[in-house]
Amino acid sequence: MDAGVTSEPIELRYRFDTRVLPAAMSGWWRSAVPPQKFVHRAVFWAVVWLGLLVLAGAIGQAGLSPAFVIAGILGAGVMVAAFAYLQRTRMRQFYRIVGAHWDRTGEISVRLDARGIEMRDDVSERRYAWAAIDAVHKAKGATVLRTGMSMIAIPDAALPEGLSASAFRARLKGWREL
C-alpha cells in the first residue's frame, strides 16, 4: 500500500439531497468532457465572427443588402434562445424524474475503502471495484464518481466530521490508483 494512501475505510449514511443533482450532473459531464480553455473558445468565436463579416462583405459585393446577414443572425439568435428555453424546461423535468428515484432510496449507506465502494439503500445494493470508477470529480456541494454512463454523487454534507471534501477526493483518487 502506498504510504500516502490510508487503508482506513470511510463510512457514510445520508439521504440524497436532490438540490445537489444539477451540480452533480454538471460534475459528471465535466469529468468526461472537460471545459475548453478560454483561449480556445476565444479563437473559435473570433473565427465565427470573422466568417460572418466576410459573408456580409461578400453579400455587399454581390449587390445584395447586408440586411440579409443581419436577418440571418437575428433568426439564428431566436433559434438559439428557443433551444435554450426548451432545454432548460426539459432538464427541469429530467431532474424531477431522477429526483423522484432518489426520494425512494431513503437513507443511503456507503462504505469506501481500498477495495472499492459498497452502497445500500431502500431500493438497491451496489458494489464497485475501483477499476469501475472512471473519474473522481469535484462538483458544487458534492463529489461525483463517474462510472461509465452512471454517477455516484456524494454530498459534501455527508462527509464525516474532520474530513474535508478535497481530502475525501484525494483519498478516493489514491485508492483508485492502487
82-133: per-residue pLDDT in tens? 999 999 999 889 888 988 888 899 999 999 999 999 999 999 999 999 999 9
166: pLDDT strictly greater than 90: yes
pLDDT of residue 157 exceeding 80, the answer is yes
Burial of 80 (C-beta count, 10 Å sphere; 0-12/13-18/19+): exposed
Arithmetic mean of pLDDT, 151-155: 92
Range in 4-8, 41-45, 146-150, 161-165 the model is least confident about: 4-8
Please work out, in degrees rounded to the nearest 5, the angle formed at the alpha carbon of residue 128 by the alpha carbons of 171 and 144.
55
Q: Which three cell numbers stand for residue 148?
A: 461509465
pLDDT range class, residue 4, cuts 50, 70, 90 = low
Which pLDDT does position 29 carry in this prediction?
85
| Greater pLDDT, 35 or 5 | 35
Q: Which residues, at least 6 apart from 146, have a Cβ–Cβ distance to it below 8 Å?
A: 28, 31, 32, 133, 134, 135, 137
CA–CA separation, 83 and 78 (whole Å)? 9
Task: Round to whole Å and give the CA distance between 141 and 9.
Answer: 22
23-56 pLDDT, tens digit per residue, is: 888 888 888 888 888 898 899 989 998 888 888 7
Around Cβ 146, how many Cβ atoms within 10 Å? 19
Give the integer Cα–Cα distance in Å for 11 and 8: 10
**Can you list the positions of beta strands (E) in 16-129?**
107-113, 116-120, 125-129
Q: What is the pTM of this model?
A: 0.72
Question: Which amino acid makes up residue 117?
Answer: I
